[in-house]
Amino acid sequence: MTRPQSPPDPYARPQRPVPRASGDSHRSALVVALIGAAATIVAALIGLFVQLSGDVEQRASGSSPGGASSVSEAPGTPETSVAPSVPPSTSVASGGSGTPGEADGAGVVPTPTAPTPVGVPEKFLGRWQGYAEEVDASSTDHYRVTVELDQGTLRERVGSVHYAMESSDCYGTVSLTAVGGTEQVILGESIQSGNCVTNGRITLTLRPGDTVDFAYESTKRDGTRQSVKAGLERVA
């Protein structure tokens, strides 16, 4: 059974429909909120990265904020410094190239020097002969001198000497005393027979043309100096 409808109230206010929010509005608000949260997180990460970078730079420079040393030292402890390892350099004459960044003399190889012989140089081996002149206060003598040299080292017997004089023949041995490179030898003389001074010194100096200068020095029995000079040629 249907109820009869009451007539509309002519004095009642008209009611407006209440708008309902659509689903798109809810999604838009959620997206905005997520973007804001992400921006906050990114800003926080950037600030943390900047702070960490500053700490790393301070540690690398060895100083802490405020200019204080990053390494604390105990009072009274002396500071120990370690010098960097530097390879030894070879001392050579300056090359004078003037090239920036290069040490003076870099790349200059020193010229090697020939070793000093310890025995009779090969150029002196053999028999040498010539005429000597001996001058003293009273007279001048001339006689033949023969020197023969063999192989040998320092302080060893290396040959013989013969003085053929009018009054006497003197024979002796010679030992190697010193070597002046390849151009000079010094011999110690020891006379074995004849009327000559027992001991003396002979210096042989090599000259062009297969010749040598002979220089003899000794002290006579009366204390006077004896000097003999000669030019010898190779005869064997």
**pLDDT per position as a tens digit, 98-157:** 444 444 545 566 666 655 567 999 999 999 999 999 877 677 889 999 999 999 999 999
Question: Which of 10, 35, 62 is where one domain is finished?
Answer: 62
**pLDDT per position as a tens digit, 85-94:** 444 444 444 4
For the chain, the domain total comes to 2
Q: Kindly report the CATH number assigned to the domain that includes residue 195.
A: 2.40.128.20
Q: Do 125 and 151 contact (CB within 8 A), yes or no?
A: yes
Of 204 and 24, the structure prediction assigns the larger pLDDT to 204
pLDDT of residue 26: 57
- pTM comes to 0.52
Number of H helices, E strands in the chain: 1, 8
Q: Is 69 inside any structural domain?
A: no
Stretch among 83-87, 105-109, 162-166, 232-236 having the lowest mean pLDDT: 83-87
Question: Which of 36, 62, 88 is where one domain is finished?
Answer: 62
Q: Is 128 inside any structural domain?
A: yes
DSSP string, 72-107: ---TTPPP---PPP--------------TT--TTTT
Residue 72 pLDDT > 90: no
Domain that holds residue 224: 122-234
